[in-house]
């Protein structure tokens, strides 16, 4: 009985991690594809409330999963776990990130027609790499538990007879669940300069301010360089006249 209760908390943590990833993808989807609406709707206060709602939803989902396994239908619980807790979150993240990439491509094309900006292109590439990394990590880390649950549901006698297969896949799934919970933070730090700056500034670390100073200095030097080039061009034109 105690194991069942601890398992419920485990499901709450795992599903919470997955649906928080879904929530982040949903927020980016609105910001990229509906920037005017997102400017009014996506605020800090509402984001905190939405995060609390995701937490409550994860706890309620874990409680329902406990009831489903022990009181509703234990035979179909594996297929329920594979679809509801594994496949659906990955599918939502995949679809949202595809629309995010499409929206970013449209924004890049529209901005390119107006002016050329190397910094925006580099930001675009870093964000694209970050989104692709999130999708790949999310899919790989969820695949082991998804495959295990499908195999138990389709071949229950085989999996009960050859328990070492289930044991191995189960432990791999647990390891990748932990990796999925920790790798997203590293991905954001690796590809997101703004995320690094905000994170370091939040904890009052000196590296965050240093990074902001370096970024501001590089921006100022680029601006002054372009200004000097334009001034030199005008001087040459005037001298030719």
Per-residue model confidence (pLDDT) at position 7: 66
Q: Of the candidates 104, 128, 101, 96, which has an alpha carbon nearest to the alpha carbon of residue 26? A: 96
Per-residue model confidence (pLDDT) at position 3: 55
Per-residue model confidence (pLDDT) at position 91: 92
pLDDT digit of tens for each residue in the chain (241 aa)?
Answer: 555 666 667 777 778 888 888 888 888 888 888 888 888 888 888 888 999 999 999 889 988 988 898 889 888 888 998 998 889 999 999 999 888 888 888 877 777 766 655 555 566 567 777 777 888 888 888 888 898 888 888 888 877 777 777 788 888 888 887 888 778 778 878 877 777 777 777 776 555 444 444 444 444 444 444 444 444 444 444 445 5
Q: How far apart (Å, rounded) are the C-alpha atoms in residues 32 and 8?
A: 36
Per-residue model confidence (pLDDT) at position 193: 73
> Long-range pairs for 153-161 at CB < 8 Å and ≥24 separation?
153/76, 153/78, 153/79, 153/82
Q: How far apart (Å, rounded) are the C-alpha atoms in residues 168 and 56?
A: 32
Q: How many residues does the chain have?
A: 241
Q: How far apart (Å, rounded) are the C-alpha atoms in residues 121 and 188?
A: 18
Q: Is 15 exposed, middle or buried (0-12, 13-18, 19+ CB in 10 A)?
A: buried
CATH for the 2-191 domain, from 3.40.50.720, 3.40.190.170, 1.20.1070.10, 3.40.190.10: 1.20.1070.10
Q: What is the 3-state secondary structure (H, E, C) of 95-121?
A: HHHHHHHHHHHHHHHHHHHHCCCHHHH
pTM score: 0.70
Domain boundaries, the chain: 2-191, 202-241
């Amino acid at each position: 009985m105690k194991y069942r209760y601890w398992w419920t908390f485990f499901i709450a943590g795992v599903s919470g991690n997955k649906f928080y990833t879904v929530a982040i993808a949903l927020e980016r989807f609105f910001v990229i594809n509906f920037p005017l609406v997102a400017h009014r709707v996506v605020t800090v206060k509402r984001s905190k409330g939405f995060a609390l709602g995701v937490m409550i939803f994860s706890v309620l989902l874990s409680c329902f999963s406990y009831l489903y396994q022990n009181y509703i239908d234990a035979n179909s619980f594996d297929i329920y776990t594979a679809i509801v807790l594994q496949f659906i979150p990955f599918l939502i993240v995949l679809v949202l990130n595809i629309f995010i990439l499409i929206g970013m491509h449209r924004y890049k094309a529209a901005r390119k027609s107006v002016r050329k900006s190397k910094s925006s292109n580099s930001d675009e590439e870093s964000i694209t790499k970050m989104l692709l990394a999130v999708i790949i990590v999310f899919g790989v880390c969820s695949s082991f538990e998804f495959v295990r649950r499908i195999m138990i549901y389709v071949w229950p006698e085989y999996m009960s007879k050859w328990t070492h297969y289930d044991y191995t896949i189960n432990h791999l799934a647990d390891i990748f669940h932990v990796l999925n919970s920790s790798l997203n933070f590293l991905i954001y730090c690796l590809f997101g300069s703004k995320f690094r700056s905000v994170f370091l500034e939040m904890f009052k670390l000196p590296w965050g301010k240093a990074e902001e100073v370096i970024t501001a200095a590089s921006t100022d030097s680029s601006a002054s360089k372009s200004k000097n080039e334009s001034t030199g061009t005008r001087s040459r034109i005037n001298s030719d006249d």
